[in-house]
Structure 1
Amino acid sequence: MKNFNGKVAVITGAGAGIGRALAIELARGGAQLALSGRNLDSVAETAALCEKEGAKVRAYQLDVTDRAAVYAHADEVVADFGKVNIVINNAGVSLTANIEDVSWDDFEWIFNINFWGTANGTKAFLPHVIASGDGHIANVSSMFGLVACPSQSGYSSSKFAMRAFTDALRQEMIIAEHQVGVSSVHPGMIKTDIAWKARASANRDRDALAANFDGLAKTTPEQCAQTILNGIKKNKPLILIGTDAKAMNWMQRLLGSGYMKPLTAQMRKEI
């Protein structure tokens, strides 16, 4: 995909953070935008910012865990825009809890949004992206979709599952000779409010965890969006965002399962 001019892009989790930055950057590139999120007011704010860039845009309220609603949304977007070229499954949440402490409700909550939300969006829009003749699907995983991290079992496992799902899809598109690029996106710590919206087990101070995240996050949503969109243009299978994500990737590539030793030592200091 050489550019985004005239392309129709679907973005979930578009009300703030990475999703909002992606929408604005795509608007500047001439894309038409179908933006969704659970909070319609926030998505409408993003849409207004995109309209200022001259984009055709519509805001939708959507719960990505509701499969029937996601399929209905896909049909509605095609009715509104006539086609779909790009789908960025960006909606996601975070959870901090050890396996012995995590509740089943919280475990299911994070998988329903991070993994099943991505699968729902991919399956619902895939026929339309294939039909466009020039399409791309990007699923936003995490650097913890590259390495597993203590206290992040729910988050890491949902993000690992997203990567496997996405990598399999890319290979299937190549075998079928469909003109659809597929990217697995792995941000490090991005300066968004995800940590403040996260869940944590009862024995952890969620606000302290969020404040610590804010202190460590160096990459802005705008930088993240630019990296993602450059990766889509180049049809990269793996898009790494931030020095932290790149370091995690190299650590697991060089050390194999041995990456757990230094990571465990570091996390022991922080937990």
Structure 2
Amino acid sequence: MTRHLDFKGRTAVITGAGSGIGAALAAALAARGANLALADINEARLQEVADALKSNEIKVTTHKVDVADKDQIAAFAEAVEHEHGAVHGLFNNAGVALGGTFDRVKDDDFEWLMNINFYGVVRMTRAFMPLLKQADMAQLVNVSSIFGIVAPSGQTAYSSAKFAVRGFSNALMHELEGTSIGVTTVHPGGVNTRIAEDAKKPEDMTEAELAAVKKMAKEGLVMPPPEAAEIILRGVERRLPRVLVGKDAHTLAILERIFPIKYWNFIKKRASRPQAD
């Protein structure tokens, strides 16, 4: 398999392109001369992203898509085939967050998250596989999370989905070995996106708990999305099987590898230390 993928003049599909990492990926790929098919459930945000790319001499199409909806995904794939043809990069980036321990998360909310964060990836991959196969060289890019490597308390649903994305991607990578399609699994650490702000929260969450979550997000989600997008794209261009985004992601991945059972004790101890002013 050729090790370098040049996106100039090629087509990339991005879900969750209306904000955060998805919007930053769109800008970075546009700067590389890629044609883009951008999808998001929020049509207004998506159009803002597309409008900002109009100065580039590339083709950009926008598509309102709920990745939890099979029919919308199928229609999206048909539209991309009609408007772009072969797909060289599929970035399964759309995702949502759901806070709360297992006993506080309702089954309906758990299924809601899995339908977007995991089954959305699976269904997008299945729908676009024929278009990836049409390309001379293609890369499937599935965005997991550092919580697809470590599993913190209070993230039962989110970690379940992100571990599932990791397992699906790794198995599919082995199945596609020897073909023109590569697979990259992305594990972002703390990137400053809207995911925490837009997260669904338990109905019984107190004001104090909500304030603590917001404080943790402010302190932990610090990397600018454009920086994260560049790290991801450099890995995808090299067709790497795994991309860790941020020092925190690298540190936690190493910690989990060395202490696969006890890593959580180290994380708790660090979190309990007094913070310097």
User: Once the two structures are superposed, what CA deviation does each residue of 1:98-145 show, in whole Å capped at 9, x if it has no partner?
Assistant: 111111121111111100111111111012101212100100010000
Does structure 1 residue 218 correspond to structure 2 residue 222?
yes
Distance 1:109 1:264 in 2: 29
> Structure 2-normalised TM-score?
0.93
Q: Which residue of the partner structure matches residue 86 of structure 2?
A: 83
- Paired residues, what number? 268
Question: Residue 118 of structure 2: SS of its match in structure 1?
Answer: helix
| Residue 267 of structure 1, CA deviation | 5.6
| Residue 214 of structure 1, CA deviation | 1.8
Does structure 1 residue 33 correspond to structure 2 residue 43?
no
For 1:137, which of 136, 140, 149 is the aligned residue?
140
Name the CA shift for 1:119/1:155 in 2 (closer, same or farther; >3 Å). Answer: same
As a proportion of its length, which structure holds more helix? 1
Q: Is the 8 A contact 1:196 1:207 kept in 2?
A: no
Q: Which residue of the partner structure matches residue 195 of structure 1?
A: 196
Q: Is the 8 A contact 1:137 1:181 kept in 2?
A: yes
| Residue 76 of structure 1, CA deviation | 0.8
Instruction: Give 5+ residue unaligned stretches, structure 1.
Output: none
Q: Is the 8 A contact 1:188 1:242 kept in 2?
A: yes
Does structure 1 residue 246 correspond to structure 2 residue 268?
no
- Aligned pairs for 1:1-271 (under 5 A) are 1-174=4-177, 177-201=178-202, 202-204=204-206, 205-206=209-210, 208-266=212-270
- Report sequence identity in percent: 37
**What RMSD in Å do the two structures reach over aligned CA positions?**
1.6
User: Once the two structures are superposed, what CA deviation does each residue of 1:23-58 show, in whole Å capped at 9, x if it has no partner?
Assistant: 000000000000000111111111111222332101
Q: Is the 8 A contact 2:186 2:232 kept in 1?
A: yes
Partner AA of 2:244 in structure 1: L
Distance 1:194 1:269 in 2: 26
Distance 2:273 2:119 in 1: 33
Question: Residue 164 of structure 1: SS of its match in structure 2?
Answer: helix
Distance 2:65 2:22 in 1: 14
User: Once the two structures are superposed, what CA deviation does each residue of 1:55-109 show, in whole Å capped at 9, x if it has no partner?
Assistant: 2101110000011210221111010012211100000011111111111121111
Instruction: Give 5+ residue unaligned stretches, structure 2.
Output: none
| Residue 264 of structure 1, CA deviation | 4.0
> Structure 1-normalised TM-score?
0.95
